[in-house]
Structure 1
Amino acid sequence: MASTEQCREALDQLSRNLAGANGDVRKAATLDRSLTCRLTDLDVTFSGRLQDGRITDVTQTPGPPPAKAEIRLTMTSDDLVAMVGGTLPFASSWATGRIKLEAGLRDLLRLRSLL
């Protein structure tokens, strides 16, 4: 099980990856949406904003998300670290239910280029 510090660093790395992206990925990352990442094994939620191609204003709270974000991710801590590290493919993990992504239909269509 990854630590909360490792997960926070993974989210920071994901933000850096998004900020450095080009083309369709960059366009999808420019959404301005609230975002949560619930880590089931640590019983913690990271909340922030996907804004200007970065994940900003990240906070950590125990338990489930305090409010319903526009984009919601749910996974284990190890899956977050592996996904950001490039060893766990997001698309197949999402398709099998290992990672959950919930968002409005328009957002899902825009986010598909990130997958």
Structure 2
Amino acid sequence: MATPAECRAALEQLSENLGKANGDIRSAAAMDRSLTCWITDLDLTFSGRLRGGHITEVTEAPGRPAERAQIRLAMSGDDLVALVGGRLNFASAWATGRVKLEAGIRDLLQLRTLL
């Protein structure tokens, strides 16, 4: 099972990857939205902002997200680490329910480029 530190490191790596992206991926990641990632097996939530192609202002708190973010993710810590490490495909993980993504329709349409 991934540790909280490994999950935080994965989110930092994801932020770095988004910041280096080009083209459609860069423009999709350039939105300004609140973001939560609930790590289900650790019952731990990371909250932050997707802004300018980076995930910023990341905090962590026990339990489910206290507030409803504009973009909401839920998955196990191992799946987060595998997704960021390129060992798990987001589309198949989402289709099988391993990863849950909730957002408004406009955000989902923009995020589809990242998927």
TM-score, normalization by structure 1: 0.99
Tell me the equivalent position of 2:58.
Answer: 58
Residue aligned with 1:113, SS = coil
The AA in structure 2 aligned to 1:111 is L
The AA in structure 1 aligned to 2:37 is C
Give me the whole-angstrom Cα distance separating, in 1, the residues matched to 2:96 and 2:41. Answer: 18
1:22 shift after superposition: 0.2
Tell me the equivalent position of 1:44.
Answer: 44
Which runs of structure 2 are paired with 1:88-107 in the superposition (5 Å)? 88-107=88-107
1:95 shift after superposition: 1.2
Give me the whole-angstrom Cα distance separating, in 2, the residues matched to 1:73 and 1:10. Answer: 14
Tell me the equivalent position of 2:80.
Answer: 80
Residue aligned with 2:113, SS = helix
RMSD: 0.4
**Alpha-carbon deviations, 1:8-58, whole Å to 9, x = none?**
000000000000000000000001000000000001000000000000000
The size of the alignment, in residue pairs, is: 115
Runs of at least 4 residues off by over 4 Å: none
Residue aligned with 2:27, SS = helix
Tell me the equivalent position of 2:19.
Answer: 19
Tell me the equivalent position of 1:109.
Answer: 109
Provide structure 1 residue ranges, at least 5 long, that are not aligned to the other structure: none
Provide structure 2 residue ranges, at least 5 long, that are not aligned to the other structure: none
Give me the whole-angstrom Cα distance separating, in 2, the residues matched to 1:19 and 1:97. Answer: 27
